[in-house]
């Protein structure tokens, strides 16, 4: 009976994490084949290392990894830049305002992910509201190509991931004793110096956590680059999807997934070390 509470998380992790992971691992060393499903298990023919060799050797896939990491890094950086003043504002706000403001930060989580992207498409496309207004006011003759561009991609990414950055920063800034900033001022530090020498260094672990919390899921993002980004935004998530659904090359798709997971183990490990320290 006493082991029962442990059973639930073990079952959960087993069924929803370990088993799928195992399936992906087996897939990545399987042999591609015509038919349903489009692969042969690595049984009599032995393990197939071709998929990993292809993914690691072909510049197309390496570029996809690089693009994903750059997009994730830039998204995390942009989120951090926006989230820092937001979190600072939340912490400094009057107590009565804090809960409603925090709610506003979390509000995007409550609306569906796809409707939000749909809204962006509606705003940004050639016949969308923004182009429509600009034309009506006579600023432009022909519609601007706003959608399917890098700015549109980052707009969507930052919009989706910003709350992940605000929350850890808010948590770390609200733990900061305001007396420390007063003490710094008393010792002769002006407003910006207090921020640079006290607030910023003490919020650094929170900022790092915020960066990683955005970076990790953003690196595997597929939907936003697909729906808002330019055709050149061939990030690894998008390539993986194409391999799986369009090329029906499940082993290559699985190899991409395994390598992405391996690449993300480093930031995940860093994140856990940060959490353990605070």
Partner 1 sequence: MSRPLLSLRGLSRRFGETVALDRLDLDVPPGEFLALLGGSGSGKSTLLRVIAGFEAPDAGQVLFEGRDLAGVPPHARPLNMMFQSYALFPHLTVAGNVAYGLRREGVARAERHRRVAEALAMVGLEEFGRRLPHRLSGGQRQRVALARVLVKRPRLLLLDEPLGALDAGLRERTGFELRALQRETGAAFIMVTHDQSEALALADRVAVLEQGRLVQLGPPRAVYERPATRFVASFLGGANVLEGRPDGAGGLDCPLLGGTLRPAETLPEGCTACALRPERIALRSGASGPNTASGTIEEVAFRGDDSLLLVRMPGGAVLRVGHAEEDGAPPPRGSTVQLSWEAAAVVPLLG
At residue 122's C-alpha, the angle toward residues 121 and 124, to 5°, is: 60
CB of 197 to partner 1, least distance (A): 8
Considering only residues 64 through 123, tell me which ones interact with partner 1, judged by CB under 8 A.
none
Other beta carbons within 10 Å of 163: 20
Contact between 174 and partner 1 by CB under 8 A: the answer reads no
CB of 186 to partner 1, least distance (A): 5
Which residue, 18 or 180, is less far from partner 1 as judged by CB?
Answer: 180
Contact between 24 and partner 1 by CB under 8 A: the answer reads no
Considering only residues 216 through 235, tell me which ones interact with partner 1, judged by CB under 8 A.
none
CB of 213 to partner 1, least distance (A): 22
Cβ(29)–Cβ(51) under 8 Å?
A: yes
d(CA 178, CA 36): 63
Q: Which of 18, 58, 190, 266 binds partner 1 (CB under 8 A)?
A: 190
Q: Measuring CA to CA, how many Å separate 243 from each of 110, 167, 209, 224, 250?
A: 32, 35, 32, 18, 7
* Contacts by 140-147, CB closer than 8 A, 24 or more apart: 147/121, 147/228
Contact between 49 and partner 1 by CB under 8 A: the answer reads no
Give the residue among 212, 198, 187 at the shortest CA–CA distance from 273: 212
Contact between 186 and partner 1 by CB under 8 A: the answer reads yes
Contact between 182 and partner 1 by CB under 8 A: the answer reads yes
Token readout for 67 is 């693009």
Give the distance between the most distant pair of CA atoms in the chain: 76
Q: Which of 46, 188, 276, 277 binds partner 1 (CB under 8 A)?
A: 188
Q: Which of 4, 179, 262, 276 binds partner 1 (CB under 8 A)?
A: 179
CB of 204 to partner 1, least distance (A): 8
Total binding residues toward partner 1, as defined by CB under 8 A:
18
- Chain residues that interact with partner 1, rule: CB under 8 A: 177, 179-180, 182-190, 193-194, 197-198, 201-202
């Amino acid at each position: 009976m006493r082991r029962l509470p442990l059973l639930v998380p073990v079952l959960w992790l087993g069924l929803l994490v370990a088993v799928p992971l195992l399936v992906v691992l087996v897939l990545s060393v399987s042999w591609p084949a015509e038919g349903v499903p489009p692969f042969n298990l690595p049984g009599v023919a032995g393990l197939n290392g071709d998929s990993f060799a292809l993914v690691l050797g072909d510049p197309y896939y390496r570029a996809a990894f690089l693009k994903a990491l750059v997009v994730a890094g830039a998204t995390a950086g942009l989120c951090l830049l926006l989230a820092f003043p937001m979190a600072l504002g939340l912490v400094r706000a009057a107590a009565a305002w804090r809960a409603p403001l925090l709610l506003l930060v979390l509000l995007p989580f409550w609306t569906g992910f796809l409707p939000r992207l749909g809204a962006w498409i509606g705003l940004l496309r050639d016949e969308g509201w923004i182009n429509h207004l600009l034309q009506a006011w006579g600023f432009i003759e022909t519609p601007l190509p706003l959608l399917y561009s890098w700015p549109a991609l980052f707009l969507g990414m930052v919009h989706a991931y910003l709350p992940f950055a605000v929350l850890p920063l808010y948590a770390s800034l609200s733990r900061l004793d305001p007396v420390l900033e007063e003490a710094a001022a008393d010792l002769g530090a002006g407003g910006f110096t207090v921020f640079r020498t006290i607030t910023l260094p003490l919020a650094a672990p929170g900022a790092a956590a915020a960066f990683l919390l955005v970076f990790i899921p953003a690196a595997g993002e597929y939907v936003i680059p697909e729906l808002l980004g330019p055709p050149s935004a061939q990030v690894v998530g998008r390539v993986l999807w194409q391999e799986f659904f369009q090329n029906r090359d499940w082993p290559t798709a699985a190899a991409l997934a395994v390598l992405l997971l391996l690449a993300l183990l480093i930031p995940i490990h860093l994140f856990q070390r940060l959490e353990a320290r605070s």
